[in-house]
Amino acid sequence: MKKVKFICLLAAFLTALSSVCVAKTVSSEGDVSNPDEPIAETKADMTVGADLKIKAKSAILMEPYSKTVLYEQNSNQICAPASITKIMSLLLIMEAIEQKKITTEEVITASLNASKMGGSQIWLKENESMTLDDLLKAIVIGSANDATVAVAEHIAGSEEEFVRQMNNRAKEIGMEHTVFKNSTGLDEKGHITTCFDVAVMSSELIKYPLIKKYSTVWMDSLRNGESELVNTNKLVRFYSGTTGLKTGTTSKAGCCLSASAKREDTEFIAVVMGAENSNERFSGAKKLLDFGFSNYLVKEVSCVEPSKKIITFVKNGTKKTVYGDASGSVKILLRKSEADSIVQKINFEKEICAPVKKNDLIGTVDLYIDKELVGKIEIKAKESIEKIKFGVTFLWILKGLMKL
């Protein structure tokens, strides 16, 4: 009997010791794939127009700044988004930071409601406080529902109001088939989106460099190392150029992923929704990104014509001419085979009426591939030129008469 008691006490002691010495790993949306296992290599025909055969309900590849769709598979099919929902939550957070409504050093206290979220979490306790910086780590790296709700309530006063703002923002950026019911992505009736809409909101989010401070991190920790964070996005570790962005997994949604990757000036968003398992969402996103980088690039183009050759006559101005400034540039999405085929055509007003303000648009440098217009560089007035007033005109005439 004493021996049994001793064994029980020893077991209890060892359990307690392990809980003290070992960091608790944040729940990762039920993803049971091995984080150390590389993404499976899958062969596919990478030529434009080929079927990539993505093993998922829907998929899309988008160039984020032009929002050009380069590949799609049922991209407008209605789907449950799971934690990809948090992309919109993060967009509102980034906008609040930019508008100086909140800072990353600001301390946020968790409510009882936030502490009861469940699912993927960092086990926030009611009244536990963390900086927004730490909570962003938890949301982006660990997909923590409790952290998401804590920040949502802090910014908007309640999760309900925050969700209302999410839906308003979705409409503003053209997400026509999306309805959010919560800020986390937990399955809820009527909580829906599409691959296309996810790509659109992902494109908006990556405009904020701050998000990549978190979305490119593979491992981190909270609470002085007590809570370990492992990124739910394996591409961060195993795919060159990965910049984010967000995974999602629920029983209703299946395995989902919005992945962003950038190489030199070229960046893509690959979205996979409704994959049967975690490996298929990662291999599908990898296939989409490989297709993008194999066939397309974003090229920054400047005007090749010297600005001194762009001269516009000014009618009724204090000066007779104004120089055009075409020193700007434009980024253009191109097929790699077309990268050296751009033809520039200068198109500007030969004569304009005063007054002219500096930086007024007076023309464009039109960029063509074959006969297709693919971009424009603005030509702006280099200086301001006032309109001639009656008194000045009279003096000019008088001076002319005196010379006779």
Query: Catalytic one among 27, 28, 57, 86?
Result: 86
Measured from the Cβ of residue 289, the count of other Cβ atoms closer than 10 Å reads 23
- Whether 252 is catalytic is no
Task: Report the alpha-carbon distance of residue 88 to residue 70 in Å, rounded.
Answer: 23
Helices (H), 64-144: 86-98, 112-115, 132-140
Query: Catalytic one among 27, 75, 83, 111?
Result: 83
- Whether 143 is catalytic is yes
- Whether 203 is catalytic is no
For residue 105, the 8-state DSSP code is: T
Measure the N-to-C terminal CA separation of the chain; round to a whole number of Å: 131
Query: Catalytic one among 143, 203, 258, 278?
Result: 143
Largest Cα span, the chain: 131
Burial 361-392 (b: 16+ CB within 10 A, else e): ebbbbebebeeeebbebbbbbbebbeebeeee
Half-sphere exposure of 396 (CA within 13 A, CB side): 10
**167 to 7, 100, 149, 162, 300: CA distances (angstroms):** 57, 22, 16, 9, 34
- Positions marked catalytic: 83, 86, 143
